[in-house]
């Protein structure tokens, strides 16, 4: 970490400070300002490609040096990548050209700069994460959020609606609808469900739940008993969990803290 120059070396009138002292002072000031890590960017899907775009500035720190992000952004296609694989996206300099790459190598915090980098390679700065779909290609939609940015994160919604009736007669939870997404390990996740349910057998009980990375329910949104054949009742509830291991049960830790790819689904069961 550089240190700021003395105020007397960059303010005043000649000969105090002298031209030489002022030049040194302003050089120290530049080193100090640029010693802070910059991440003035956001990784998004644009067209068929991933694009690292400028966001609230134009600088990105790579290998302890501040570089200017091109005004058009930096693109990456999914060509040659494996569908179903989650990749970390890293930015690096290829000569004088900023480039991004997809890598399955984990990220780690650089002990010198504090910047999140490719594990074992400080020349690669982490800028995001993405999952490849069949094609291969990139995807970011209301039912599958498969592109996330490390810098300048934003809240995104997922949404799915049944086009018809969903049913099960099983006494154990069965998947009915699901959405898939990526997230970082320090994020809070919010889920909700809303609708109606019915049962064609009087006194039978419906259980409608939300499950994350499993058909096992994390939260029973509605446990409802039919008062008559074909009776209708509500199906609604909310669920909030932390994505890191400290916020969920151990059974989910292996998925939520490490795997990074998740799904949330509505599950249902019937008890007669």
SS3 218: coil
Share of residues in the chain with pLDDT > 70 (%): 72
Which pTM value belongs to this model? 0.76
> Of 29-33, 166-170, 243-247, which one has max mean pLDDT?
29-33
Give the mean model confidence (pLDDT) for residues 231-244. Answer: 58
Give the mean model confidence (pLDDT) for residues 185-211. Answer: 73
Cβ–Cβ < 8 Å for 209, 193: no
Q: Give the mean pLDDT of the chain.
A: 79
SS3 34: helix
Joined together, the tokens standing for residue 165 give 């009736």
Measured between alpha carbons, how far is 257 from 261 in angstroms, rounded to an integer?
10
What integer pLDDT is reported at residue 260 of this predicted model? 43
Measured between alpha carbons, how far is 102 from 151 in angstroms, rounded to an integer?
16
Radius of gyration of the chain (CA): 26
Question: Is 80 exceeded by the pLDDT of residue 35?
Answer: no
Domain extents in the chain: 41-149, 174-271
Measured between alpha carbons, how far is 32 from 198 in angstroms, rounded to an integer?
66
What integer pLDDT is reported at residue 256 of this predicted model? 28
What integer pLDDT is reported at residue 146 of this predicted model? 94
Give the mean model confidence (pLDDT) for residues 114-129. Answer: 97
SS3 45: strand
Q: Tens digit of pLDDT for each residue in 68-107?
A: 999 999 999 999 999 999 999 999 999 999 999 999 999 9
Measured between alpha carbons, how far is 135 from 219 in angstroms, rounded to an integer?
36
What integer pLDDT is reported at residue 248 of this predicted model? 32
The residues, ordered by sequence, that sit 6+ positions from 41 with a Cβ below 8 Å of its Cβ are 52, 53, 54, 55, 60, 69, 91, 127, 149, 151, 152
Cβ–Cβ < 8 Å for 137, 84: no
What integer pLDDT is reported at residue 83 of this predicted model? 96
Better pLDDT: 187 or 3 = 187
């Amino acid at each position: 970490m550089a240190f700021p120059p003395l105020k007397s070396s960059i303010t005043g009138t000649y000969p105090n400070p002298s031209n030489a002292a002022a030049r040194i002072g302003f050089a120290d000031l530049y080193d100090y300002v640029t010693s802070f890590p910059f991440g003035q960017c956001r990784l998004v899907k644009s067209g068929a490609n991933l694009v690292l775009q400028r966001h609230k500035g134009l600088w990105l720190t790579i290998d302890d040096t501040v570089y200017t992000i091109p005004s058009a952004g930096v693109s990456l296609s999914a060509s040659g990548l494996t569908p179903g694989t989650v990749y970390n996206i890293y930015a690096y300099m290829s000569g004088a050209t900023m480039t991004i790459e997809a890598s399955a190598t984990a990220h780690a915090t650089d002990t010198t700069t504090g910047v999140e980098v490719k594990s074992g390679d400080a020349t690669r700065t982490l800028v995001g994460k993405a999952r490849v779909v069949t094609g291969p290609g990139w995807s970011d939609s209301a039912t599958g959020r498969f592109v996330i940015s490390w810098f300048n994160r934003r809240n995104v919604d997922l949404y799915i609606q049944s086009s018809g009736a969903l049913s099960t007669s099983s006494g154990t939870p069965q998947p009915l609808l699901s959405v898939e997404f990526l997230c970082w390990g320090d994020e809070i996740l919010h889920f909700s469900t809303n609708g109606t349910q019915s049962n064609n057998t009087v006194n039978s009980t419906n259980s409608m739940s939300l499950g994350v990375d499993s058909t096992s329910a994390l939260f029973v949104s509605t446990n409802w008993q039919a008062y008559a054949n074909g009776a209708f009742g509500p199906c609604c509830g909310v669920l909030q969990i932390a994505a890191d291991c400290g916020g969920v049960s151990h059974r989910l830790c292996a998925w939520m803290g490490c795997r990074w790819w998740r799904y949330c689904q509505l599950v249902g069961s019937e008890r007669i």
